[in-house]
Each structure stands twice: as structure tokens, then as C-alpha cells.
A and B are shown apart, each in its own frame.
Chain A
Amino acid sequence: METKLLTEFYHLDEFRTLAGYKKHGGYETLKKALKMQPQQITDEVKASGLRGRGGAGFPTGMKWGFLPKNNEPRYLLCNADEGEPGTFKDRLMMERAPHQLIEGMIISGYAIGSKKGYIYIRGEYFYPISVVQEALKEAYAAGLLGKNIMGSGLDFDLDVYSGAGAYICGEETGMISSLEGLKGQPKLKPPFPAVQGYLRKPTIVNNVETLAAVVPIIKDGAAAYKKFGTEKSAGTKLFSLSGNVVRPGNYEVNLAYPLKDLIYGLGGGMRPGRKLKAVIPGGSSAPVLTAEEAERATMDYECLAGMGSMLGSGAVIVIDDSQCMVDMLGVLTHFYHHESCGQCTPCREGTGWLNKVVHSILEGRGRLQDIELLLKVADNMKGRTICALSDAAALPVLSFVTKFRDEFEFYVREGRSKVRGVRHAEMHH
């Protein structure tokens, strides 16, 4: 069963307009929030146990608490650079309910004392960009943004910034660099964005879903939000289900929802005659789960971390027994090689190296020691760089090779896929 806390009215076309949004209780929460003290809102968010929905799962209230307690100008940035392969929840949220995001951002901006926010949207999202821009116009016209919002004396400005197509700009400091007009490369930490971020001012970067979730938290209170999910993984989450399932799509369920229910219940299960082989539970960077692990997994931060994987952005990629794991790893290593920003050496060189080794195997030139080499290279890319892209590139390699080693060994020995029976190159001819 879905728990539609955010997506309740997503099926209504009118929900994306201001009038339609207001009809279903929109901007009522903002009114309530404006009567509260900023600190109360922050405390409420802290109490709700809301964790970052972009991938890292960092507690949102705690993040807000890192801001310096002074009157320095500060920025609220919405990270809508949804680039993690398999993830498409932010797109839906922006397309179906842009005002939900705007309302969440005004409330959050009020809470952290920011007068200016940006929504950094992935460059390829032409349609969501236009929808959000349209919604911003409506909000400005209705006095919901700009000076003296709803007569409360609060000023808050919001702008859309379009990315230029780099995955790395989804990393918060990479996004800040890009927003500053620099090359989209992550910045060295410390200083952290909460202390020195956009234009060297204190900055909070939150995911679309995180900011939107502030609305129901303030509306019904932290206690009501905490009823969903578990103690440490509270609330609901949108999961982007894709891959070899009958009904792929976005599903909002409470956290700790069993993965097998997501796949076999909401997702409609496997195609006829196919068996589940593996699941990537949190976007392509999350280590893969075997079918047996997927049967036991629940979709919350702790359970997946306990299995050596992660909830990530909530992109569930289902892999059935018709897929060749070597082939799939080739797609992933190609992606990370293409997207590494090239700043840190282990990532810049390592992603290319991994990609070349996997493709050597795919082209039938693999050596048995290459399998061990993949593990060694990936192991030495982990935790050695400024941002997490290097880890994101290394983790799939480590998990694919360890959990499906037989497929890799078969490929190297026979020069063809164990599943498909042919070599990668032949497959495309």
C-alpha cells in the first residue's frame, strides 16, 4: 500500500497550478509556519527525524543547525539536479506539484533565516524547468514570494537555475560551484557549505523531496510524521522503481517498506517466466543486492546499510535473470568514467581504468587477474577523494564482482556472457 503524504493529489492536473494547489490546502501550512518562530520550525523538523532524501540521508534539522548564529546573509538551495541513474522522483514532484516545493522552500527559508533561494534543476529537465518557472511566476503574482510575503514582513526570493548536464553538479559543493558560474567541481571540505557555501556565505542545500516533506511535517507536526517508518528512518519516501518489473514508476511508501512488497506488490512482479536476480536499491551508486538479500530487505537507511548497501536516492533498479551482470557493470563504469569531474586523481584515473578493464572483459580480452584487479582498484578509490563520486564508482564494481564472480570468471574464460551466450560486441551487431 502506498502512503500518499506528498503525492496524494499528484494524479490531478490542476494540482500544478496555484489555484488547484490552494484548493487542496496549499499554502495553508505556510500561513501556519509564519505564525511560528523560525527556531520552532527547525525544532519541529529535527523532531520529525526527516533525513536528506537526495542520497546521503543526513538528518535535515541537524544540517540546518550547523548554520552560524549570526545575521550573515545565507542561502537556501534546492538540489533538483537529479542525475543518479535510476532516479526520477524529483522530476515527478516538480512536474506535478511545483507549489509544494515552493511552499516547502519558503518555510525552510524562513526557518534558517534566508532571504534568497535557488532551485538548481538538471539541465535536461526542460519540462520541469518550465513548470517550476511558471509556478514561480504565479507565486510572485500572488504575493507568496518577494517582499512581505502574505503581509507577514518576511522577504524571500526564489529563482530557477538550469544545470548544464553534469552528474557531478548533483553533489552539493559541485552544485554550488556551478551556481557560482565556476566549473562544476566539488569543493574541498572543510569549510562545509553551512559555514561557507554559495558565494562563501552560509548555505543549506536540500533535495526537492526533503524540502517538500517540510510541508506535511509543519502541517501535522513532527509526531504525526514520525508515525510513518521507523525510529531512525521516519516518514515516507518516493521510490523510483525501474528495470525488469511489470509496473515501473514512482511509489510513495513509508520507510522500512519491504523491498519484496515494492517489487512484487506495487511493481507487479517479474515478467512471466523470469526470476529476480538482483536489485540495486538506491540508485546506481548503491551496492547491488542479490535476490536472496532483496527478499529480506526493508527500504530504510539502517537495514540497507546493514546489508552493505544504501537507501541512496531511492531508485530501485530490478534486475532479472535475463541480464548479464558484466554487461550491466560495463554500463555503470562507462557512466562514472564519463561523469568524473577529473579533479582528484584516484577518481579521474580510477574510473577510466575500471571502465577499460570491464570493457576488455566484455570484448573478450579479459585476463583472470583482471577480476582481482577490479577489486583492488575499486578498493583504493574508496574514501580517497573530495566527494563521493569515486566511492559511487567503486561500490558497484566491488559488489558486482564479489556477488556475481562466477559470471565474470565465465566471461573471462569463455570470452562470452554466461547469461546471453554471446560476447558484448556481437550482441550489438
Chain B
Amino acid sequence: MPKCTINGKEVEVKDGTTIIEAMYGKDGEWPEGKVAHYCWHPGLSVAGVCRLCMVEIEGNPRLQIACNTMVTEGMKINNTSEKVKDAAKWGLDFHLINHPLDCPICDQAGECGLQDQYMEFGKYNPEMAEKKVKKHKVVDLGPTVVLDTERCILCSRCVRFTDEVSKTNELGIFNRGDRSEIGTFDGVPLDNKYSLNTVDICPVGALTSKDFRFRQRVWYLKDAETVCNGCSTGCNVKVYFNREGFFRVKPAYNPDVNGYWMCDEGRDLYKFVNRENRWLKAKKRTYNGIEEMMPGAAAKDASFAVKSLGDSVALVLTGQYSVEEYESIVSTFANDLKSKRIYHWISNPEKANDFDGLLLRGDKNPNTKGLQQVLQKHGVNTNWADLLSAISSGAIQTVVVAGPENQAVYADMKDKIRDLSKAKNLIWLQTGRNHDLEALTGNVWLIPMKSYVEKDGTFVNHAGLAQKFKKTTTVVSEALTLTEASDLLAGKQLVIKPETNVFVESEKPADRVTVEHRKKNEFVFRRGTL
């Protein structure tokens, strides 16, 4: 455990710690002052090529790079001297002399490493008066990523990512000197399940996501941390949103779960949260036709088919809701309604234990473990075949289904709808639209649910790690959580929470639309972390 002095303050670090790691702090707080850097990334190997993280070490006449210098006992490190500042200034200027400075049309503007670090360490009097090097502007690297080689500062982070993390080796640096360009080999595009991480770690706007580019300026986006609901890994993610909806998902650092990365699949999950893919109102279908109503009203309306039928009511649960919701709905059904017919809808059971070695798991539910724990706690032990036979025998009259949020991974959706709709009454609780459900005939209630970004809760991941997540924003304010739905279905008085006060009015005419009032100027400028 060597002790060193950083800017006059004594710090003790673990053996084998580099200077930049010692200065980085736990999660990038830079407690002893920030060190300028581009190529160094805590999740990748050391390249030592940007030459920005120069620090002064007492007794060494030459500046040393902090990323490749180990801390030794008694080392005296300084990064506030004029010499160090000058090195960073010129280092940044070298980065910028051939950079196109097309910030007004660049997607990275607002969260750009060049912008941020130039503000902090820059020289402010550019002296480059020569023509800049011209390179390729729109290089299609693969299905997810576009490259602008002029913006690239050749930090090699993306190359090291494909080399070390995804281990797919699609990217390389071609040519040499200031003609160097990132590129792929002919016929081998950047196409792997983690490709968009290269966009995250790109400190400039060279790599942009095809999905996100040109869709929003980042200063119009707010971000919030939550837990990805794409699979049972439970990666910690940041979702970016504004009043127009959600626009992207990026990984948030958690050493116990996902480190610095996430998969490309998880990045698409913001889409089913947005209004265009959601049920905004409940639909009640009877033999008289379709009636649109407020979700709360629909749940109350459907309660007659639930509350007094006892054991002829079945509950079907998918692994995409929070532990708290499971707890309340299962206890409501088991204790209040005295129904032991609670079933776990397992999609793709044969793939449930698949794992690609990095993050992606075959179980596409974020909370299968949580659901199992709750079912076990309440002594529920049922199997799917019983449900089907009980429906066909008429022993079950009402089926309440908590459908999946991410329907794309439920390949058996159609089959299950067909099977379950054989019951006399079907109450389907779900976030997103589904044409098969909307086309059903008979007594059907389709009730919109809140998505995972709109509620507080807990997911238990594949390893049994319980992760709490917080509500980030509201997309469909009228939608219900599973807890609220179960209370209403059981005929209980709804416990009104401040953010769910729309339900007070839910008994008023169904065509009344409640508009959620937001604060104006809610967009705060967030400096992107590099």
C-alpha cells in the first residue's frame, strides 16, 4: 500500500495503482483535481497515446503520463504547476488543429470531451493557420454506428473496446500519421451485440449512433438512472428523456453488475416506453362493442368479474414487474380474493439460462427471480397445464394477466392470447399496444400499465441481487401500477399517492383527458461525463 502525495495531499493507494487511477476517485469525482485525458478509460487497457494526462513527479525532469505511471512509495505528484498546465494546453491544441469544429451540426456537442476539456484546460488562442487534413465524413461502420473520421482524435478507445471487451476485433486504425483513420476491414462491419458502447466511450462526435443521431440536442435531454428491464442481468442504465419522450439509453457504472457497458438490445428498450407505442386509455370490449375509458375506471369496472368469484379467478404474471407490485397483487389475490390460481408465464423456458459470457442473458425478464421469491413466499405452486385445462373446463371464469412490457421478446404472445382469451372474462394489464388483444371479442378489458421508468420498485436479477430503481418521469399519467390495478380489481379503496392523484377523477366521464402539468423550463443543462 504505497503512500504518495498528490498536490500536497497525502494519499494511500493499493499496490499497482496508476497515478490517474489514484486521482480518478471512486466514480470519477477527481478529488485531487481533474487530469485532462482522452485515451484513458477505466474499463479499458492503457494506450498512452493522447499524451494529455501529463503530471509532474518530483525528481523527474520530464513530465510523465499519469495513465501509465505506477504510484510508488513517497512519490510526489503535482498536476497544478504551470508546466503541467502548459502541456495540457498544447496537447489539446494538437488534438484540435485538424478537428473540423463542426459543433453546430455535431451530435456530441454538449457532452463532448473536446468541448468540456478545452473549457477547462484549453489554450484559448489557436495559432493554426494552415489547411486542415481532409478525411472521410460519413463512414458506415455497420448497422448501428456511423463514423466521421475528421472528428476522430484517434484515442483508440473504440478499437480497444472491440479488442478487449466485445472481443470481436472489427475496428482498427488504418494508415499512419495524420492520415490515420478508424475503419473496418472490407466485408467485416462493426456488427456485434455491444457495438454502441463504442459510441458512449468515443470522447468526441466521431462515432454516432444511427438510432440517436440528429434526433435531439443533448442539452434538451434530462437523464436519470434506472435498471434496464431487458434481461435478467439488470444492467444499471441512464435513460435520456424530455417532454417529447425517451431518446436513448446509456450504461451507468456498476462494478457488481455491468461495469461500464451494456448491450445494444437494452438500448432499444426506451422505444416501448414512448407514447406512440403505449395504450393511453383502457378499452372495455363487450358484446356491445368497444368502450374507451380511463384506466382506473376500467379497473373498477372490471372488479365485478374479480372480487366475488373466489377461486374461479386466475392471475397470470410475467417477470417484468417490480417485487413490490408482485407482493401486493399476489397477496391481494391469495389473501383477499382467496384465489390460489396464480400462474407464472415463462416465455422461452429452454433459453432461460443462456448467457453470452459478458452481459446478455437468455431470460429476457428483469425480475424472474423476484417473482419466484414472491410466489414462493405465498406458497403458490401451480403449473401452466392446469390453467389451460381449468379454463377449458370452465373452472376459471376470469383471467387477469399482467402482460409483458417488452413484448418483442415474448415469442409466444399470440399463442398465450389465444389460450387465455378462452376464459369468459379477460382482464389484460399491459403497457404497450397489441393488435391481437385489441382484436379480441368477448368480455375483455385492456388496461394500460405504467412502464418501468414511471414507477419506483425493485428488480431481483439472475444472481439474486435486488436493485431499487426510482421513477424518472411520467409518460402516460393515467396508467396504473400493478399495485393500483390489483387494489381496484379487488374493489378496495385506492390509496392515493401524490403522483397518482389523477385517479380521484377516474369515475368521471371516460372521455375526459387528464393532462399532466409539468413545470416549465424543466430542461437542465447536464455536462456529460466522459
Check A346 against B94 for contact (C-beta < 8 Å): yes
Choose among B48, B49, B87, B130 the residue that contacts A357 (Cβ–Cβ < 8 A): B130
Chain B residues contacting A166 (CB-CB under 8 Å) are 176
Contact B176 A383 (CB under 8 A): no
Question: Are B91 and A351 closer than 8 Å at their CB atoms?
Answer: no
Q: A340-B176, A344-B49, A353-B130 are in contact. Are A188 and B91 (CB under 8 A)?
A: no
Minimum CB–CB distance from A382 to chain B (whole Å) comes to 10
Chain B 118-146 interface residues, beta-carbon cutoff 8 Å to A: 127-131, 133
Cβ-neighbour of B50 out of A342, A345, A380 (below 8 A): A345
Question: Which of A168, A342, A367 has most chain B Cβ within 10 Å?
Answer: A342
Residues of B within 8 A of A188 (CB): 46-48, 68
Say if the beta carbon of A96 comes within 8 Å of chain B.
no
Pairwise interchain contact A337-B68, C-beta atoms closer than 8 A: no
A190 CB contacts on chain B under 8 angstroms: 68
Contacts of A168 in B (CB 8 A): 176
Task: Please state if A360 and B90 are interface contacts (CB–CB under 8 Å).
Answer: no
A352 to B178, CA, bound (A): 7
A residues 350-401 touching B (CB-CB < 8 Å): 350-353, 356-357, 360, 367, 369-370, 373, 376, 380, 383-386
Q: Give chain A residues whose Cβ lies under 8 Å from the Cβ of B63.
A: 383-384
How far is the CB of A337 from the nearest CB of chain B, in Å?
Answer: 6
Provided the pairs A340-B177, A380-B87 are in contact, do residues A348 and B48 lie with their beta carbons within 8 angstroms?
A: no
**Interface class of chain A by DSSP:** helix
Does A252 sit at the interface, judged by CB under 8 A? no
Q: Is the CB of B173 within 8 A of A349?
A: no
The reply on B468 being an interface residue by CB < 8 A is no
Is A341's beta carbon under 8 Å from chain B? Answer: yes
Inter-chain contact B179/A383, CB cutoff 8 Å: no
Find A345's partner among B46, B49, B131, B175 (CB 8 Å cutoff).
Answer: B49
Q: Is B490 located at the chain interface by the 8 A CB criterion?
A: no
Known contacts A357-B130, A383-B62: does B176 contact A345 (CB below 8 Å)? no
Complex CA distance for A346 and B419, rounded to whole angstroms: 67
Structural contact, A339 and B91, CB atoms closer than 8 A: no
With A and B bound together, what is the CA distance between A342 and B180 in angstroms? 6
Q: How far is the CB of A338 from chain B (nearest CB, A)?
A: 7
Q: Are A342 and B47 in contact (CB under 8 A)?
A: no
B54 at the A/B interface (Cβ < 8 Å)? yes
Instruction: Tell me the smallest distance from the CB of B181 to a CB of chain A, in Å.
Output: 9
List A contacts of B50 (CB < 8 A).
344-345
Q: In the complex, how many angstroms separate the beta carbon of A176 from the nearest chain B beta carbon?
A: 16
Contact: B90 with A346, CB < 8 Å? yes
Taking A188-B46, A352-B133, A383-B62 as contacts, is the C-beta distance between A342 and B176 under 8 angstroms? yes
A340 and B178: CB pair below 8 A? Answer: yes
A40 within 8 Å of B (CB atoms): no
CB of B54 within 8 A of CB of A384, answer: yes
Min CB–CB distance B149 → chain A (angstroms): 12
A352 to B94: give the CA distance in the assembly, Å: 10
Q: With the chains together, A166 CA to B176 CA distance in Å?
A: 10
Distance between Cα atoms of A345 and B114 in the complex (Å): 14
Report the nearest A residue to B127, measured CB to CB. A373
Q: Which residues of B contact A352 (CB under 8 A)?
A: 97-98, 133, 177-178
Of B86, B90, B130, B177, the residue contacting A342 (CB under 8 A) is: B177
Chain A: which residue is nearest B39 at the CB level?
Answer: A345
* Complex interface bits, A309-352 against B, C-beta within 8 A gives 1, otherwise 0: 00000000000000000000000000001111111111011111
Residues in A neighbouring B47, C-beta threshold 8 A: 188
- Distance between A184 CB and nearest chain B CB, rounded to angstroms: 8
Contact of B173 among A183, A337, A360, A380 (CB under 8 A): A183
Q: What is the interface size of chain A, counting residues whose CB is below 8 A from a CB of the partner?
A: 34
Q: How far is the CA of A357 from the CA of B172 in the complex (A)?
A: 30
CB distance from B129 to the nearest CB of A (A): 7
**In whole angstroms, what is the CA distance A346 to B95 when docked?**
8
Across the interface, do B91 and A346 meet the contact criterion of CB distance under 8 Å? yes
Within the complex, the shortest CB–CB distance from B188 to chain A, in Å, comes to 17
Whether, in the assembled complex, B429 has its beta carbon less than 8 Å from a beta carbon of chain A, the answer is no
Q: How far is the CA of A353 from the CA of B173 in the complex (A)?
A: 21
In the bound complex, CA of A343 to CA of B39 (Å):
11
A351–B90 CB distance below 8 A: no
List A71-91 residues whose CB lies under 8 Å from chain B.
none
A339 contact set on B, CB distance < 8 A: 176-177
Instruction: Using known A-B contacts A349-B94, A367-B129, determine if residue A344 contacts B176 with beta carbons closer than 8 Å.
Output: no
Count of chain A to chain B residue pairs whose CB atoms are closer than 8 Å in the complex:
92
Residue of B nearest to A376 (CB): B127
B154 at the interface (CB under 8 A from A): yes
Contact of B97 among A344, A353, A384 (CB under 8 A): A353
Which B residues lie within 8 Å of A343 (CB)?
49, 154
**CA A352 – CA B153 in complex, angstroms?**
14
B250 at the binding interface (Cβ < 8 Å): no
Would you call A345 and B51 a contact (CB within 8 A)? Answer: yes
Q: How far is the CA of A188 from the CA of B128 in the complex (A)?
A: 29
Chain B residues with CB below 8 A from A384, complex form: 51, 54, 63, 87, 91
Which residues on B sit within 8 Å (CB–CB) of A346? 51, 90-91, 94
Task: Give the Cβ gap from A17 to chain B, nearest Cβ, in Å.
Answer: 39
Measured CB to CB, the nearest residue on chain A to B131 is A356
Q: Is the CB of A350 within 8 A of B94?
A: yes
- A338 contacts across to B, CB distance below 8 A: 177
- For A386, list chain B residues within 8 Å (CB): 48-49
- Write the chain A residue with the least CB distance to B89: A380
Inter-chain CA distance A166–B49, complex, in Å, is: 19
Of the candidates B49, B62, B63, B131, the one having the most CB atoms from chain A within 10 angstroms of its own CB is: B49
CB proximity of A19 to chain B, nearest CB, Å: 44
A341 adjacent to B48 (CB under 8 Å) = no
How many Å lie between the Cα of A411 and that of B128 in the bound state?
Answer: 20
Candidates B48, B86, B98, B127; contact of A349 at CB < 8 Å:
B98
Is A342 touching B178 in the complex (CB atoms < 8 A)? yes
Which residue on B lies nearest to A390, using beta carbons? B51
- Nearest chain B CB to A253's CB is how many angstroms away? 33
Residue of B54, B154, B172 with most chain A CB atoms under a 10 A cut-off: B154
A138, B68: Cα distance in complex, Å: 46
Q: Evaluate whether A348 and B54 lie within 8 angstroms (CB atoms) in the complex, with A188-B68, A342-B154, A360-B130 already known.
A: no
CB distance from B67 to the nearest CB of A (A): 9
Chain A residue at minimum C-beta to C-beta distance from B87: A384
**Which chain B residues in 39-81 approach chain A with CB under 8 Å?**
46-52, 54, 62-63, 68
Min CB distance B385 to A, Å, is 58
Closest Cβ–Cβ distance, residue B47 to chain A (whole Å): 7
B173 and A385 within 8 A (CB):
no
> CB-nearest residue of chain B relative to A384?
B51
**Complex: A340 Cα to B173 Cα, angstroms:** 14
B178 pairs with A337, CB closer than 8 A: yes
CB-based contact A345/B91 at 8 Å: yes
How many whole Å from A177's CB to the nearest CB in chain B?
A: 12
Residue of A nearest to B90 (CB): A380
Residues of A within 8 A of B90 (CB): 346, 380
Using CB atoms, name the residue of chain B closest to A360. Answer: B130
Q: List 16 A-B contacts (CB under 8 A).
A: A166-B176, A339-B176, A339-B177, A342-B176, A342-B180, A344-B49, A345-B50, A346-B90, A348-B178, A350-B94, A352-B97, A357-B130, A373-B127, A380-B90, A384-B51, A384-B91
10 cross-chain pairs, A with B, having the tightest CB-CB distances, nearest first: A342-B180, A356-B130, A380-B90, A352-B178, A349-B94, A340-B177, A188-B48, A342-B177, A342-B176, A345-B94
Given contact pairs A344-B49, A345-B94, A352-B178, enumerate 20 new A-B contacts (beta carbons under 8 Å): A168-B176, A340-B176, A341-B177, A342-B175, A342-B176, A342-B179, A343-B49, A345-B50, A348-B180, A349-B94, A349-B97, A352-B98, A353-B130, A356-B130, A357-B130, A367-B129, A369-B127, A380-B94, A384-B91, A385-B51
